[in-house]
Structure 1
């Protein structure tokens, strides 16, 4: 049987006080996830939680499919979907999220680093929008970065126009164009590019009961 504690708390008290001490280089990463009550029941009865791919937003199917492929390529595990976690987030944000997750369960976990794929939360939206991710170069000014970004966008639109897909969805683009865009997204999977205070998310194929250190039902 799982041996992690399960408690209940109001939304404003579900998150403990103080700093969490996130360390993205740790052997076991400190992670948080909000899950429905049935997920807790699955952890308690089956000893593990696996994702339900049908919960992925259909509007962003291409971005999710890419993330799933990257997980299969980079992680020793496999699966049909992903469980999503916060790997570095402010306490204030977790408290605010708890207010939106009344009736759910906040799980605090420590998962071995090799079973987790980290990604930059804000930059992940480049994949959701099927747009290029462009890192700033060391020492690059804001104006120089803006000019370079404009050139990249102009080149992308010209390639789309030449392929006859300027106003068509991502999956209708030529394979080489999709591949180049996806290659730019790989940069936000690299923790060495993250700023000290950047919000970081994580995905995993499975959550095991022994990974969970605390569970709080949010009243």
Structure 2
């Protein structure tokens, strides 16, 4: 679909409610509301917002989400699940966009270490290494006198720092193959960024 993650201008897709789309047309901008984030994943979103603040020239309190690279059939299926909403196709300067690999973003959502398969590593070896890493996290949390579902901000600082450093890997497209699904976040979507809007039918 013409995706090029290293281009100066990125092709992006986002599905928004009719209300959000009308607001974009009325005000010329769609500004995200960070209070709508699922509290279960507030830690991951908080980390992502800090990455956006550090890496992007723009400012803001939340994120508008896009697909930056996705298989056509996957996008079609997502659209089928969103009747009554609006699919926006956008072009946006790369410098305003933070990319993240869709699958590995779930490491942050789950507050788990991101481990990359080693060259020549067999599946069972990788799974065993991953299990050891998970167990180490649990052990360090318990040693600090708390349960895993305790507030992430109360976890040992060195553990949080290690986890967050591992997550930075999925922000670099150079670490992945060319066919992975990629998502993108920006601080604000402007009406001028939109090249096409399609209302999705039920």
Considering the TM-score relative to the shorter chain, is it more than 0.5?
yes
* Residue matched to 1:185: 167
* Residue matched to 2:200: 218
Tell whether 2:142 aligns with 1:161. Answer: yes
Q: Distance in 2 between matches of 1:77 and 1:40?
A: 22
* Residue matched to 2:43: 62
Tell whether 2:192 aligns with 1:202. Answer: no
Tell whether 2:162 aligns with 1:174. Answer: no
* Residue matched to 1:102: 83
Q: Distance in 1 between matches of 2:127 and 2:78?
A: 33
Structure 2 stretches of 5 or more lacking a match? none
Partner SS for 2:10:
strand
Give the drift of 1:149. Answer: 2.1
Q: Distance in 1 between matches of 2:93 and 2:154?
A: 38
TM-score (norm 1): 0.86
* Residue matched to 2:100: 119
Q: Distance in 2 between matches of 1:93 and 1:148?
A: 31
Query: Which stretch of the first structure deviates more once superposed, 171-180 or 84-93?
Result: 171-180
TM-score (norm 2): 0.92
Tell whether 2:25 aligns with 1:47. Answer: no
Task: Provide closer, same or farther for how the CA distance between residues 58 and 168 of structure 1 changes in structure 2, counting only shifts above 3 A.
Answer: closer
Deviations 1:87-142 (A, max 9, x none): 11111111111121111110000110010000011111111111111111233333
Contact 2:138 2:148 in 1 (8 A): no
Task: Provide closer, same or farther for how the CA distance between residues 167 and 156 of structure 1 changes in structure 2, counting only shifts above 3 A.
Answer: closer
Root-mean-square deviation (Å): 1.5
Contact 2:70 2:182 in 1 (8 A): yes
Deviations 1:61-92 (A, max 9, x none): 11111111111111111111000000111111
* Residue matched to 1:4: none
Counterpart mapping for 1:2-13 below 5 A? none
Q: Distance in 1 between matches of 2:118 and 2:59?
A: 34
